[in-house]
Chains A and B, each alone.
Chain A
Amino acid sequence: MYHQQKYALPLQKYGNYSNEEYSMDNRRVFQQRGRNYTWHKFDRKDYNFEHTGAPYAVGLNKKKRRWNDDDRTFLSAWDDRKHKESKMSYNAQNGTRESWFKVTIPSGRNYDKTWLMNSIMSICSVPFTPVDFHYDKNQARFFVQDASTASALKDASLKICDEENQKIIIFVRPSIVPYSVKSYFTPKQMEQIKLTMMKRYDVSQKSLDLRKFRFDRDLMSCDIDMMLNRRCCMNATLQIIQSNIPELLSLNLCNNKLYQLDGLSEVVEKAPQVKILNLSKNKLRSVSELEKVKELKLEELWLEGNPLCRTFQNESAYASAIRDQFPTLIRLDGKELLSQTVMNNENPQLRKESYKEPEIIRDLVVQFLKEYYSIYDSGDRHGLLSAYHDEACFSLTIPFNSCDSDLSNLEEYFKHNRDLIKLKDSYTRMKLLKHTNRAIVDSLSTLPKTQHDFYSFWVDMSLCTEVMLCFSVNGVFKEVEGKYQGCVRAFTRTFVTVPKSSSSMYIINDKMILRNSSPREIQKPFIPLPTVSPSLPKSTLSEKHQEMVKSFSEQSGMKLEYSQKCLDDNEWDYTKASKIFSILQTDGKIPKEFFK
């Protein structure tokens, strides 16, 4: 009878594994089939790859096994027909290339498979996918691919305890390529597969559509079972791609019952140009599967319809996890991903144009801020009285855990610090909220003298209605006198204003957040506004000085008031002033607004 015979393969010993777990349909084993019939095609129904009983099932009858000393291979009783087919389909080249290891757990059958595999995976320092898990008498067995996994598994031996507190032993030995991985297509079959694939290849788009590949008519009529979840099928596919269309750009593997992407990991070598990958409607359970192909520089990825999509709380967690694997990704499931620049905001360029408010409003705000800060920096803040509404409010807060840990140099400001999280006392809360313009201006006058870097301000326009404007100014200023002279502070100041006239406004709320600036913020040079009070009448200048201002203005191209300032700053020494002007001008430090 067939099952009594033993066979040795010409090139390499052939292994077969028994699997009593799966029931065998006896009749199939002995059914007449064509020479090219591939053994494991039982039916076209739902067949989870892991449970294809066929390769490991042996005929009804006894199996005889003999192991080699080094447990490298073993022979077994084998169905005659099956052997012949395997002989024909065996591909020595593919079989010997990878280094495989067989992992054996004695008494493995006693444990629930999921528990066992999960326990091993959690102890094992290297993540792995077990290949061809099966039972052999009482032992559980599976294969893993590389040496590092193998040694990690060896280390896991005796580290897991079962319910009876027995330590679980794990044996690891080198082995031949597992059955499922070996290529078993004949050259003729490979040719047919190649033809079928080429029919599905669009040259203009460089895209290959392997959707539902198993059910392709051509393949089915030739009895070729392309279950892409299988290593061997995927290997064959990738091989064909590599030899014929290595320039492939887009690969569609939708609806191929892919449970894992181990087989696809070689796509990086075999089809390195792939930028569009469709893995939708498969059975991928975790994002970690994608790690196997993460070297691909994907621009577009489809994953919808996989169980892994449901493991995320929301769409953004999903998108962010996928993007972690593929930083170059532009589209996920057909939708554009939120550009990273929104998160990184590396190039804000927003300044005063951060909100699409009408130009008029923007100009109004800029003008207001200029006037406000020139008085603020002038040394006498009482000039701000008219800027505030009678019933305006002002308060100041210093963030507790700001960038710098040393807040002692902000001591002048701390006495005004109003923070509702730390301050619970109603009386103090009231006291620290300055109410009425007089109280505010008095309070501001007690703060150290400053010089703001006006041209570096960022303004965000939060709200703009007919009766109110709300905007926030972010910027830096320098202390110009006192104990902390030279210290640079960063602030965010939120103003709520109401219109006073068509071109001016009252501040009704003024809220400042103040901290020490970071080193980055200090780097840029300061260009302060002229702190000459705008109300300084020109008539106080002598005729001589007026003449100087006029000619300086003509020569430099700067407006009169700025020419005046430049001269004034340089003690009305015309030569000195022009020298300073040229230096600043060459360095590009003079803002455009200063010029006519």
Chain B
Amino acid sequence: MSMSVDFKTYVDQACRAAEEFVNIYYETMDKRRHAITRLYLDKASLIWNGNAVTGMEGLKKFFDMLPSSEFQVNILDCQPVHEQATQAQTTILVVTSGTVKFDGNKQHFFNQNFLLTAQSTPNSTVWKIASDCFRFQDWAGH
């Protein structure tokens, strides 16, 4: 999107995309885990509690091994990312925080941030994850 678009419109669009995306993402994580990698770009990167996972194969394997989850998102915020950083690919920064319980483990607080990039098809705009950074909050202070 060119910068001639009003900043406010840009922000509104980002908010709507973020809300929609977050709903889909966490529901897929909890209920359709096998489909989660479809939300990521091929070259997407994931940092999960400091562990780096890259590439579609790596992501598939990782999400497969991760136990089943129950996410509860408490807050959500997003900001549009200026095109100077993205080479004109519409990107937004989405940040969430909440609690998660993985099967066989205790509940944790988590903070997560995503960079989402818009992929336009003739009919719609699909947002995909370019980067994903997830961290439990329980040991943030060592």
**A150 CA / B102 CA spacing, docked (Å):** 37
Give A435 to B6 CA distance when docked, in angstroms.
13
Task: Known contacts A356-B52, A402-B109, A430-B11; decide if A462 and B131 are in contact (CB<8 Å).
Answer: yes
Q: Once bound together, how far apart are the Cα atoms of A523 and B81, in whole Å? A: 37
Nearest Cβ distance between residue A596 and chain B, in whole angstroms?
28
CB distance from B101 to the nearest CB of A (A): 12
Q: In the complex, are the beta carbons of B75 and A419 less than 8 A apart?
A: yes
Nearest Cβ on chain B to A519's Cβ, whole angstroms: 9
Q: Give the contacts of B62-120 with A (CB-CB under 8 A).
A: 64-68, 73-82, 84-87, 93, 95, 97-99, 102-105, 109, 111, 113, 115
Known A316-B67, A403-B137, A494-B93; judge A435-B75 contact (CB<8 A): no
Chain A residues closer than 8 Å to B34, beta-carbon distance? 314
Count of chain A residues with Cβ under 8 Å from any Cβ of B?
73
Asked if A1 is an interface residue, CB under 8 A from chain B, the answer is: no
- Count CB-based A-B contacts (< 8 Å): 197
The CA-CA distance from A320 to B136 in the complex, in Å, is 20
| B contact residues, range | 35 or more
Instruction: Give the residues from 344 to 361 in chain A that come closer than 8 angstroms, CB to CB, to chain B.
Output: 344-345, 348, 350, 354-356
**CB within 8 Å for A467 and B79 given contacts A314-B33, A472-B113:** no
CA distance A461 to B113 in the complex (A): 11
Q: Bound state CA distance, A55 and B76, in angstroms?
A: 68
A397 x B77 contact (CB < 8 A): yes
Q: Which residues of A contact B74 (CB under 8 A)?
A: 399-401, 421
Q: Interface 1/0s, chain B 123-142, versus A by CB < 8 A?
A: 00000001111011111111
A residues less than 8 Å from B78 (CB atoms): 420
A21 and B20 CA atoms in complex are apart in Å by 61
- Nearest A residue to B72 via CB reads A401
Q: Which of A291-299, A365-373, A510-518, A541-549 contacts the other chain?
A: A510-518
Binary interface encoding of chain A residues 483-510 relative to chain B, with 1 for a CB under 8 A from any of its CBs, else 0: 0000000101010111000000000110
Dominant SS at the A interface? mixed
**Interface pick from A173-181, A388-396, A554-562:** A388-396
Q: Is there an interface contact between A426 and B65, defined as CB atoms closer than 8 Å?
A: no
A338 at the interface (CB under 8 A from B): yes
How far apart sit A427 and B48, CA to CA, in the bound complex (Å)? Answer: 35
Q: CA–CA, A403 to B141, complex, Å?
A: 13
Which of A400, A426, A492 has its CB near the most chain B CB atoms (within 10 A)? Answer: A492
Pick from A399, A468, A472: contact of B98, CB under 8 Å: A399
Question: If A494-B93, A513-B97, A518-B141 touch, does A463 touch B115 (CB 8 Å cutoff)?
Answer: yes
Contact of A508 among B19, B76, B85 (CB under 8 A): B85
Which residues of A sit under 8 angstroms from B85, Cβ to Cβ? Answer: 467-468, 496-498, 508-509
Find chain A residues with CB under 8 A from B8 CB.
Answer: 430
Residues of B within 8 A of A313 (CB): 68
Expressed in whole angstroms, the Cα–Cα distance for A461 and B141 within the complex equals: 18
* Contact in complex: B84, A421 (CB < 8 Å): no
Provided the pairs A420-B76, A468-B86 are in contact, do residues A316 and B47 lie with their beta carbons within 8 angstroms?
no
A536 within 8 A of B: no
In Å, the complex CA distance between A141 and B45 comes to 61
Residues of chain B within 8 A (CB-CB) of A342 are 48-49, 51
Residues of chain A within 8 A of B12, CB atoms compared: 426
The smallest beta-carbon distance between B38 and chain A, in angstroms, is: 15
Judge whether A317 is part of the interface by a CB distance below 8 angstroms. yes
The answer to whether A84 has its CB under 8 Å from any CB of chain B is no
In the complex, A522 Cα to B140 Cα: how many Å? 11
Given that A314-B64, A391-B82, A429-B15 are contacting pairs, would A474 and B135 also be in contact in the complex, using a CB cutoff of 8 Å?
yes
**In the complex, what distance in Å separates the CA atom of A397 from the CA atom of B18?**
15
In the complex the two chains form, is B64's CB within 8 Å of A355's CB? no
A277 at the interface (CB under 8 A from B): no
Q: Does B122 contact A (CB under 8 A)?
A: no
| A462–B113 CB distance below 8 A | yes
Inter-chain CA distance A400–B131, complex, in Å, is 25
Interface membership of chain A positions 404-424, coded 1 if the CB is closer than 8 angstroms to chain B and 0 otherwise: 000000000000001111100
Beyond A354-B50, A399-B98, whether A522 also contacts B113 by CB under 8 A is no
* A460 contacts partner chain B, Cβ-Cβ < 8 Å: yes
* Cα of A129 to Cα of B88 in the assembled complex, Å: 66
- Evaluate contact between B130 and A463: CB separation under 8 angstroms: yes
- The docked-state distance in angstroms from the alpha carbon of A433 to that of B18 is 15
B84 CB contact (under 8 Å) in A321, A389, A475, A490: A389
Is A419 a contact partner of B67 (Cβ separation < 8 A)? Answer: no
CB contacts (< 8 Å) of B86 on chain A: these are 467-468
Check: A524 CB closer than 8 A to any chain B CB: yes
Residues on A with C-beta less than 8 A from B141 are: 456, 475-476, 490, 517-518, 520-524
A393, B138: Cβ atoms closer than 8 Å: no
CA distance A457 to B95 in the complex (A): 19
Q: Is A458 an interface residue (CB 8 A)?
A: yes
Give the complex CA separation of A196 and B141 in angstroms: 60
In the complex the two chains form, what is the Cα distance from A114 to B62 in whole Å? 40
Contact yes or no, A509 B64, CB < 8 A? no
Q: How far is the CB of B109 from chain A (nearest CB, A)?
A: 6
Chain B nearest CB: distance from A438 CB in Å?
15
Would you call A343 an interface residue if the criterion is a C-beta within 8 Å of the partner chain's C-beta atoms? yes
Does A470 sit at the interface, judged by CB under 8 A? yes
In Å, the complex CA distance between A164 and B43 comes to 64
Q: Which of A451-481 contact B (CB under 8 A)?
A: 456, 458, 460-463, 467-468, 470, 472, 474-476
Provide a sorted-by-A list of 7 A–B residue pairs whose CB atoms are within 8 angstroms: A319-B67, A345-B136, A355-B52, A418-B77, A420-B78, A468-B86, A498-B82
State the B residues within 8 Å of A (CB). 7-8, 11-12, 15, 18-19, 33-34, 45, 47-52, 64-68, 73-82, 84-87, 93, 95, 97-99, 102-105, 109, 111, 113, 115, 130-133, 135-142
**Interface positions of A (Cβ within 8 A of B):** 313-317, 319-321, 323-324, 338, 342-345, 348, 350, 354-356, 389, 391-393, 395, 397-403, 418-422, 426, 429-430, 433, 435, 456, 458, 460-463, 467-468, 470, 472, 474-476, 490, 492, 494, 496-498, 508-509, 511, 513, 515, 517-518, 520-524
Q: A399-B74, A462-B131, A492-B111 are in contact. List 18 more A-B contacts (CB 8 A).
A: A316-B66, A316-B103, A320-B103, A342-B48, A343-B67, A345-B49, A348-B49, A348-B139, A354-B52, A399-B97, A400-B75, A419-B76, A435-B7, A458-B50, A468-B85, A472-B135, A508-B85, A521-B141
8 pairs of A and B residues whose beta carbons are closest in the complex:
A521-B141, A350-B50, A468-B85, A463-B131, A462-B131, A354-B50, A338-B65, A399-B97
